[in-house]
Amino acid sequence: METLTYLDTHVVVWVYAGLLDRLSDAVMERIECDRIVISPMVELELQYLFETGRVGIPGKIVVSELGERIGLGVCSKPFLKIIACALQQNWTRDPFDRIIVAHAALDDSVLVSRDRAIADNYSRTFWQ
């Protein structure tokens, strides 16, 4: 069975920008071998970063190009189920983090993230 792995926003930015030296060999192996997806919230966060000048490419373009380059998919789990799970992520007030974690948590999938708060609160966070 194919392993489903979610990527956090900063990982998507680094992969898109070719900053692969920021990723461990173990993370790269997941990206190359697993079925890689993002929460739609990652695309929205990328757009916010674009609109505030922190990244130079709109979210839609980043996601589309990574779909072509590495087969990145966007999760299509039912939104009401995601929100129900996000309501349980009361360790943060950040709506991006709550929904990104909820997407992975709904079926106990791995989430590749360097974020310490996420790692401290979601046991399936992967960063080596």
Q: What share of the chain has pLDDT > 90, as a percent?
A: 97
Mean pLDDT for the chain? 96
pLDDT value, residue 1: 61
d(CA 42, CA 21): 21
- CATH number of the domain within which 63 lies: 3.40.50.1010
What's the longest Cα–Cα distance across the chain?
40
Looking at the DSSP assignment, which residues form a beta bridge with residue 7? 112
pLDDT tens figures, 44-72: 999 999 999 999 999 999 999 999 999 99
pLDDT value, residue 112: 98
Structural domain range at position 98: 4-126
pLDDT value, residue 11: 98
Whole-angstrom CA distances from 121 to 67, 106, 114 are 29, 14, 13
Mean pLDDT of all residues in 96-113: 97
Query: What pTM did the predictor assign?
Result: 0.96
pLDDT tens figures, 4-38: 999 999 999 999 999 999 999 999 999 999 999 99
d(CA 23, CA 33): 15
Please count the structural domains in the chain: 1
Report residue 93's pLDDT band, with 50, 70 and 90 as the boundaries: very high
Report residue 2's pLDDT band, with 50, 70 and 90 as the boundaries: confident
pLDDT value, residue 50: 98
